[in-house]
Structure 1
Amino acid sequence: MNRLLLFIFFVPIGIFAQSIVKGTVTEKSTAIPLPGVNVVIKGTTTGTATDFDGNYQIEANNGDILVFTYVGYQPIEATFTGQANLNVELTEDAAQLDEVVIIGYGSTTKKDATGSVEAITSEDFTKGNIVTPENLLSGRISGVSITTSGAPGSGSQIRIRGGSSISASNDPLIIIDGLPITNNGVGGSRGVLASINPSDIDSFSVLKDASATAIYGSRAANGVIIIVTKKGKSTFSATLDSQYSFGELTDRINVFNGNDYRNLVRSQPINGTTLDESLLGGANTNWQDEIFRNTVSSQHNLSLQGSLFKAIPARFSFGLTDQEGALLTSTFERRNLGLALNPSLFDDHLKININANLSFEDNRFGDSGQIGAALRYNPTKPVYDQSSPFGGFYQHRNGSIVSNGTTNPVASLLQTNNLGDSNRSYGNINFDYKFHFLPELRAVVNIGYDNIKAKTINSSSTLVATNDDVKGNSSLGFQKRTNELLDGYLTYNKEFDKFRTEFTAGYSYQRFTNEGDNTGNKRDPLSFPSTFADPDVVLIGYFGRANFTLSDKYLVTLTYRRDGTSRFSEKNRWGDFPAAAVAWNISDEDFLKDSNVISNLKLRAGYGITGQQDVGEKDVFLNRYRAGDQNSQYQFDNVVIQSLIASEINPDLKWEETSTLEFGIDYGLFNNRVSGSLNLFQKNSKDLLFVAAVADGANFSNSVVQNIGELQIQGIEFSTNVDVIKKDDLSIDFNFNATFLDREIQNLALGQDVRTGGIAGGTGNNIQLHRIGEAPNSFSVYKQLYDVAGNPIEGAYLDTNGDNVINDDDRYLKENPGADVILGFQSNINYKNFDLAFNMRANLGNYVYNNVNSSNAQLERLQDNAVLGNLPTSVLNTNFVRTSDVIISDIYLEDASFLKMDNITLGYTFNDVCKGLKSVRLWGGIQNVFTITNYTGLDPEVFNGIDNLIYPRPRTILAGANFKF
């Protein structure tokens, strides 16, 4: 009996006794162990995590289900049936990665986002000859346009929804790993993003509406771009990317060749005076061919990632870029070093992210002004002349004296050496602590820095053609910018059954400095060494955000920021920037949640106010003096004394403010095989910062930065992503986005027009105008008249006001440089080991003023001061004689709508090449494939709508290899 009782007692214990389960978690595609994988017994809070070798150990009962989860991988469930080892393989889940969206001071998911936010990861970046990081986004996101010149390493003009200002900055705020950077560059550098290695970037998040950007307050009126760099991983891997590119300019401005030019000069008197034929030569020189060259460039990037000391996930990267410019002497070199350390301590309660980057940028700047000189230089003269005292280059001269006129552009380039060096160190350290006693509460501290030191050396040969006794030229300049950041905030997450809350509150301090000096100019006897130190710019912000979610269907976000800036006077120093947004996940409602067609449908609405305080550094409100120049010196005995000049100030200067109202729809169809969004928005900017006239004697200048005017921008954005085919051996997807924009000035100071848009040709001419009721920078032109044969009549314009006098009152507004419609289209096709990708863009309704023709295509320009000059052959279309009579004609305003294929790439991947080498991808491609346009100039895509010989964009053949170890 006792034995029976003992048996009955121990049977349940045996049934419910727990066993030790061991195993290893690996990545399915590579068999690499995965550290930090969460292993939880389903339905309980019992769990553990894999170690740095992917091993785990946990106590479990027979029949328990173990759930394995890891960020970026599909979760998997495995049942414990008594086996000693339970090994699992996890598969990467790209869709899950896409769900994470980085926002200001935190992150969310696409499903929970209430604002207009678009995020893309490295898998979706624009491919091709990418030298600077912003071009990874080109044509990829609705509402975002990026215009880059052809200069090597060139910076870009980035516009989100057309900007929000008229004369202040329209550049978005750019944030790298939590550090907002300044858009002000340094001498010696190509641009603020030129020093950043695109291969180090993991993702972009573009915040477009005020409900998403208001958390950044005073700097967010033009949108926000958040860049996240690649982080360390515990498992070892290495990649090596090598790329070579071969560039060639495929187009030229059409000018007369030597033979046609000689005939033109001999047959064409100017204003009744015959041109001096003795100034003609016997050569036939294409000067554009002489200053441009075919280019060879390369990029190499190496990255290593793995665990340091078996405890710290780390990543190291090295990049080398060597890019030749199409213009002689123009080069760009960059060397990058990057280090990321991402340890976790105290059972993952404390996460530390350390990012440290070094960049060394070396430039030689080719004088782009010589593009215009090549267009003008006499094509009957040779490049070289052995008898020349100017280094063997031909120059127009009268005996030993250089004739007054355009000088040899090849000589000007080769005999001038303009160098720029920029050394940059930037990064941050981020502490993210989840409190042990209250895990719903996190404290985050982010410390960032950005230090740039730059040097410029400008020199020219002693053989440069001059008529004075000073031979050669030299100057040396230094500049230093610093950017220091301290952010701290608390985030509290709490879920009450179906109600989730998140609260964030914090403080931000940021300080910018700028100083430098130069040695003066050897050729200018009045120049002198000088130093400068702009006033420190300090920004202080207090911010908060609250998110409320009910049943995963109904979402509310409230945001507030109070910003202070040292740029303005005490009474205007602080600004308040609130925002609110709501969203409704309709697809989670009972009547849609089982739909086989609609897999995601969310309605959004938001309103918020953001600011703009980025005026020029000399325009900040401070009672101060500035150093005078050579025109404000005085001499005491034999000593030249540098003077100080009182600066103009405006104590009433304050923020620009932009309010944005938006309604949006996010959709997904057929299990999200088709997804995208539709947004309708209206932005109203008031108190626009603008340089405007003041009464004489009222300040230390006749103009000063003031708050005048209002601007309204309305728009519609549409985007769609389609997985056409998604199979193991074949996948085809494409992205299409469209943006419609309408801009209108609603108010200006005293209701007066403001002329802008200076052009070459004549003196003080402007071609654009700001006017109430019209788009900014609208073109202000005369209406050209034509004869009965349809030929333009020189100097004949429509008398629009009927006063029988043709003057500025008869100019009318015709179109503007902003595109009405911006389109982007990308596609990726993968078949087995082959991959094909291409990217296309289009602008519709944008107009360009052809300043190349308006300032050069007139017959009087055959006389180039004391010498002869070439002309565009377009002069034969008009036979206009005088530039001053025709430069404002609307005949030079052209529709510059275009369709461009930016790039196309084709690759093949060899897998499992040998032990230690996982794969090799060989690829080739073409950058700047084609442009379809009716614009007659060199390129329809120009800055601000005025084409005055942009740096041309070459067509580039690409070849590269990617090795994964």
Structure 2
Amino acid sequence: MKMKLTKTYSNFSPFLSLMAMFVFSAAAFGQTVTISGVVTDGATADPLPGVSVVLKGTSTGTSTDFDGNYQIEANMGDVLIFSYIGFERIEITVTSTNHNVSLNEDLQRLDEVVVIGYGTTTVKDATGSVASITAEEFNQGNIVTPENLLNGRVAGVSINTGGEPGSGSTIRIRGGSSLGASNDPLIVIDGLPIDNVSIGGSRSILSTINPNEIESFSVLKDASATAIYGSRASNGVIIISTKKGKRELSVDLNMSIGSSVVPNTLDVFSADEYRQLVSNERPDLVPLLGNAKTRWQDEIYRSALTSNQNLSIQGSLLKKVPARLSIGRTLQDGLRLTSEFERNSGSLSLNPNMFNDHLKVSLNVNGSFEKNRFAPGEEGNAIRFDPTQPVYDEKSPFGGYFQYTNINDDGVLDENDLVGLAPFNPVANLLQRNDISEVKRFYGNLKLDYSFHFLPELSAVVNLGYDEQRAEGDVKVSNLNPLTQNDGSIVGSESNYTNYQKNVLLDGYLRYDKDGDRFDFDLTTGYSFQKFDSNQYTSGELLDDGADTAPVLNIDPDLVLIGLFARTNISWADKYLLTLSYRRDGTSRFSEDNRWGNFPAAAFAWQISDEFFPEARGLSTLKLRLGWGITGQQDIGRANSALFRSRYVQGLPASQYQFGGVNYPVGIPSFRNENIKWEETVAYNAGIDFGFAEDRITGSIDAFYKESKDLLANADISDGSNFSNSGFQNIGNFTSQGIEFAIGGDVVESAENDGFNWVLNYNATYIETEIQELALDQDQLVGDIGGGVGNTIQINRVGYTPYSFYVYRQVYNAQGNPIEGAYADLNGDNIINNDDRYIFKNGAPDITMGLLSNMGYKSFDLTFSLRASLGNYVYNNVNSAGAQLNLIQNNSVLSNLPVTVTDTNFTNTPDVILSDYYMENASFLKVDNISLGYTFDDVLNSRSTLRLFSSVQNVLTITNYSGLDPEVFDNGIDNTIYPRARTILLGANLRF
């Protein structure tokens, strides 16, 4: 401060001048006064309620009222900090008694927020391996279930979705951690962990959830991040945050319609080709040929329609409560005849703040109504059915569909009319079956977050969650379909079922958060209670057969999970970050001696860039992360909820016991294991986060190692030692290790709004797993296959990857052609038997990659996404079980074959089915989606936009695999799949 002395004081000494200045400054800046003002939104000038106003360096603070007004006691020269979620934090120095403040939205900060277990953090402060995907980064296209929004988007996460409408997905984070228990990640929606078991009648656990309601995903991958969830975190955690209400009124309408087609079918003989084949190979069967030219795969499929409509309205209720209301409707016809999926959903979100922002309330209510018509899998039947036979036969007594029959002259049906062991018409099997279900789901949560008035750093949180599902279904097969024959009579059948399951949650925890000048500290500690219950009622009967078949009621034991947890985050100078967590979990699945598990974790991060080169422009971020933790596993299915107890099941009517002239049902004891206990996974993670050019380009590299101990698996037991020949046991351990790499950012960033912009994101993951120990070092033969009885093609063996293929080594002639039934004698004993089988590859890829590109120029936008899988092998069971010449005759009728039979000329299935000839490299590159859009501004008003777009889903697959699709389920065994549709979509998004 500068002061001008008058002439009266001009003769004073310099010392007196300095004293005068000091006294004046003390009088001006040492006085406590009341500071007031209004805080507004910089973009709209609207008042901001609930803004935190804190006197820097103290715990003294207040919040703005509904009209944005604040009042606080301070001294002149003090610094006030204004902060509000989603807005830039600013500091002002007090120079007067009135300070009006304008806050601007902090879009970059919003993007950095990451939801973790029982709280949030930022990308900068994260110590564990956590990935956050927001709405701007979601996959585009025909997205029906939420998980497909992030397919291929996160390193270490693979998502394999089937072709059925509303189909579920196999989700794996870092390959999973179990051998026989669940490998599915824990999914948490707005703080509510949901059941990994879908209710019977529903497509999947996520099919009832509208993807349009998703705001962001947080994927917790390493144990230091997931251990706070303890008993269910070994396979990673996916936290879904739904969209919340905002203060400003806005309306969002999304509409799309599309057409889906089958991109390709399996290559089998056409009718003319098949006639030639039969004439050449089996001329004695020529009389069995028909006169039609039927492409049976084309007949069981159709072009299908899909449509989506979503409407959301958000704004303030009564000018005080941020709210959001949305409704959605999805209709999706399946490619397979009669397959249909319909979902109607609605949600309400209320997010008020009360008591001067000390109480934050979050209420999320969601409801959905799902309708399904399921179509049985007829792919195998369509591949094999004689192409020279017609689909329809007007003389047929089976509803006008062709069937193999020996109809008597009198036209009366009896047990001799159907050709024995002949296949039934696949089109008739689809159209004469009505398998429908209706699923109602209600779920949501109420979260109360109270910050104590006397100590604002301390808050108490209560989270109440509820998830209830009820499904009703009916399966009816026409009495004109031979599938429902009974003692030679065609009577039809019907089965009704009602399924119910419920999940209730109570979380309560305290959180203390103290920010200092250099030292920041927070502590969270609490209690969690969750209970799952379900039951199933099934009634089956033959139509017109008199009394109904006795219904069956299955009530699964309630599953209760209890957890005590604590976590602390410590930060020093924003450079050194330490996270410690602990959870103690109890499950009702295990006996009292084994019920509780302890799951600690620790993580450390070091901001190297802030330490050594804080002003660097090139390398803007460099952070080292180290993590360790123990997580648990107890999910072995509802049927195994109480293996430690004595359990009995009712025997079949044929095994009743007669006592006193009365027949009584028999109670049969079930498998019991009192010693079953937690499966535990110890995991280590080391990672580096980096950023260049002021974080215009960011990325990360992670290396991880996991060891799963006391593996839970359904394994064989000694005869006579229990009430079954197999059951769930703790049988061994295996390890997983890998490297993840992710990078993304603005490749081209135009300074002008209408210039060219290009954002690119890429990730790659390498994973390998190895079984370290099995009970008694015994191999486990797994991987059932079609073709013969009791054949398996995979093995679990110490020293190898789980579910490795176990095959014979094929011998080839001088021309390079395989010799049927000729295998290498690997052990040199001159005998070809199981001892000569060897382990060859597995179905898990060595490397997976994903790429998302977003480009924009003026009002145009172009997006495409790709995925790649390298090193995964598939056992082609379609060929191994069906591409043999002896199968031209199927009992007393003809059967089609894959055209690959001409490559081998194999004749006998049992001789070739275990050959490594059918092992194929199924590496692939898929172009999942291409979307092109154009946005019109100022459509209804200055704030409204209209985006029109078109997209193609499942665009292209590049692979050397000869089957229908290299991306198969069942650990790499291809025994026909529901084809994934290629969909062309047109849509519009209106916002105002």
Same structural fold, with TM-score higher than 0.5 when normalized by the shorter chain: yes
Shift of the 785–31 alpha-carbon distance from structure 1 to 2, 3 Å rule, reads: farther
Superposed displacement of residue 101, structure 1 = 1.1
AA aligned to 2:464 is I
Match for residue 108 of structure 2 among 86, 95, 99: 95
Following superposition, the deviation at residue 915 of structure 1 comes to 3.4
Answering whether residue 562 of structure 2 is matched by residue 540 of structure 1, we say yes
- Worse overlay, 57-66 or 297-306: 57-66
Deviation at 1:87, TM superposition (A): 8.0
| 1:913 Cα deviation after fit | 0.8
Distance across 1 between alignment mates of 2:715 and 2:402: 47
Paired with 2:659 and 2:423, the residues of 1 have a C-alpha distance of: 39
In the alignment, which of 576, 583, 586 is matched to residue 561 of structure 1?
A: 583
**How far apart, in 2, do the equivalents of 1:778 and 1:772 lie?**
11
Aligned to 2:605: 583
Q: 1-side partners of 2:851 and 2:467: how far apart? A: 35
With over 3 angstroms needed to count, the CA separation of the structure-2 counterparts of 1:51 and 1:883, relative to structure 1, is same
Alignment map for 1:322-361 (pairs within 5 Å): 322-361=331-370
Correspondence for 1:423: 440
Paired with 1:497 and 1:25, the residues of 2 have a C-alpha distance of 27
SS of the equivalent of 1:98 reads: helix
Matches for 1:468-867 after TM superposition, within 5 Å: 468-522=488-542, 528-589=550-611, 591-619=612-640, 620=642, 621-629=644-652, 632-633=655-656, 642-727=665-750, 728-729=753-754, 730-867=756-893
Tell me whether 1:106 sits opposite 2:119 in the alignment.
Answer: yes
Pick the aligned partner of 1:451 from 468, 481, 491: 468
| Pick aligned residue for 1:893 from 915, 919, 922 | 919
Q: How far 1:77 sits from its partner (Å)?
A: 7.4
Q: Which residue of 2 aligns with 1:936?
A: 962
**In structure 1, how many angstroms separate the alpha carbons of the residues matched to 2:633 and 2:237?**
12
Write the distance in 2 (CA, Å) between the matches of 1:382 and 1:33: 74
Instruction: Give the Cα separation in 2 of the matches to 1:203 and 1:365.
Output: 31
Residue matched to 2:153:
140
Give the equivalent residue in structure 2 for 1:884. 910
Contact map agreement 1:26 1:54 (CA 8 A) in 2: no
2:898 aligned residue (844, 861, 872): 872
**Partner Cα separation in structure 2 for residue 447 and residue 144 of structure 1:** 29
Distance 2:389 2:562 in 1: 62
1:383 and 2:391 aligned: yes
For residues 580-618 of structure 1, give each alpha carbon's deviation from its aligned partner in whole angstroms, at most 9, with x where no partner exists. Answer: 1111111111x3111111211111111111010001222
Check conservation: 2:88, 2:103, Cα contact below 8 A. Answer: no
The answer (yes or no) to whether the contact 1:21–1:60 under 8 Å persists in 2 is no
Cα gap change, 1:572/1:34 in structure 2, threshold over 3 Å: closer, same or farther?
same
What is the aligned partner in structure 1 of residue 279 from structure 2?
A: 266
Is the 8 Å Cα contact of residues 590 and 677 (structure 2) preserved in structure 1?
yes
Partners of 2:32 and 2:575 in 1: how far apart?
43
State the match for 1:280 in structure 2.
289
Note closer, same or farther for the CA distance 1:630–1:762 as it changes in structure 2 (3 Å cut).
farther
The AA in structure 1 aligned to 2:529 is Y
- 2:192 is aligned to 179
Cα distance change, pair 363–81 in 1 and its aligned pair in 2 (3 A): same
1:3-22 paired onto structure 2 within 5 Å: none
Structure 1 residues 59 and 658 mapped into 2: Cα distance closer, same or farther (>3 Å)?
A: closer
Give TM-score scaled by structure 1 length.
0.94
Cα distance in 1 between the residues matched to 2:509 and 2:59: 29
* Residue of structure 2 equivalent to 1:373: 381
Structure 1 residue 626, shift from structure 2 partner: 2.2
Looking at structure 1, the residues matched to 532 and 569 of structure 2 have their Cα atoms a distance apart, in angstroms, of 32
Q: Residues 706 and 853 from structure 1, CA distance in 2 versus in 1: closer, same or farther, beyond 3 angstroms?
A: same
- Asked if the contact 2:38/2:47 (under 8 Å) is kept, the reply is no
Separation in structure 1 between the aligned mates of residue 302 and residue 435 of structure 2, nearest angstrom: 19
One-letter code aligned to 1:304:
I
Q: Is the 8 A contact 1:677 1:719 kept in 2?
A: yes
Residue 260 of structure 2 aligns to which amino acid in structure 1?
Answer: G
Q: 1:554 deviation in Å?
A: 1.1
Residue aligning to 2:3: none
1:25 CA displacement: 2.9
Q: Which residue identity lines up with residue 278 of structure 1 in the other structure?
A: P
Q: Does 1:906 align with 2:923?
A: no
Is there any run of 5+ residues in structure 1 with no aligned partner, and where? 1-7
CA distance in 2, matches of 1:809, 1:321: 54
1:713/1:741 contact within 8 Å kept: yes
The letter for the 1-side match of 2:721 is A
**Matched residue SS, 2:939:** strand
Q: CA deviation at 1:470?
A: 4.1
- What is aligned with 1:118? 131
Look up the equivalent residue of 2:430 and give its one-letter code: L
Letter in 2 for 1:911: D
Aligned mates of 1:349, 1:248 — CA distance in 2? 55
Range with bigger deviation, 214-223 or 548-557: 548-557
Contact 1:473/1:522 (8 A) holds in 2: yes
Matched residues in 2 for 1:663 and 1:50: separation? 43
Question: Among residues 288, 292, 295, which one is paired with 2:301 in the alignment?
Answer: 292
Checking the alignment, whether the CA contact within 8 Å between 1:376 and 1:406 is kept in structure 2 is no
Distance change (3 Å), C-alpha of 1:64 and 1:913 = farther
Separation (CA, whole Å) in 1 of partners of 2:580 and 2:628: 10
Residues 631 and 960 of structure 1: CA distance in aligned 2, closer, same or farther (over 3 Å)? farther
Q: C-alpha deviations, 1:539-589, integer Å up to 9, x for none?
A: 111111122111111111111111111101111011111111111111111
Paired amino acid for 1:697: G
Which 10-residue stretch deviates more, 609-618 or 889-898? 609-618
Q: Is the 8 A contact 2:716 2:726 kept in 1?
A: yes
Q: Which moved more, 1:408-417 or 1:101-110?
A: 101-110
CA contact (8 A) 1:80 1:86 kept: no
Residue 422 to residue 14, structure 1, CA distance change in 2 (3 Å): closer
Q: Is the 1:187–1:420 Cα contact (8 Å) retained in structure 2?
A: no
The code of the aligned residue for 1:367 comes to P
2:209 alignment partner AA: I
Q: Alpha-carbon deviation of 1:721?
A: 1.3
Post-superposition Cα deviations, 1:738-757, rounded to whole Å, max 9, x if no partner, equal 10111100111111111000
Q: C-alpha deviations, 1:475-525, integer Å up to 9, x for none?
A: 001111011111111111224542222111111111110112111232799
Q: Percent identity?
A: 55
RMSD of the alignment, in Å?
2.8
Residues 646-690 of structure 1: per-residue CA shift (max 9 Å, x gap): 111100000110000111111111100111111111000010011
What is the distance in 1 between the residues matched to 2:794 and 2:941? Answer: 64
Match of 2:14 in 1: none
Provide Cα deviations, 1:204-230, integer angstroms capped at 9, x if missing partner: 111111111111111100001111111
Q: Is the CA contact 1:27–1:33 (under 8 Å) kept in the aligned structure 2?
A: no
Whole-Å separation in 1 of the counterparts to 2:872 and 2:661: 57
1:961 paired with 2:981, answer no
TM-score, normalised by the number of residues in structure 2: 0.91
1:117 Cα deviation after fit = 0.7
Q: Following the alignment from structure 2 to structure 1, what is the Cα–Cα distance between the partners of residues 654 and 237?
A: 42
Shift of the alpha carbon at 1:917? 6.5
Q: How many residues align?
A: 950
Bigger drift between 151-160 and 802-811 goes to 802-811
**Cα distance in 2, alignment partners of residues 650 and 15 from structure 1:** 75
Q: Which amino acid aligns with 1:396?
A: Y
SS in 2 for 1:815: strand
- Partner of residue 223, structure 1: 236
512-521 or 80-89: which moved more? Answer: 80-89
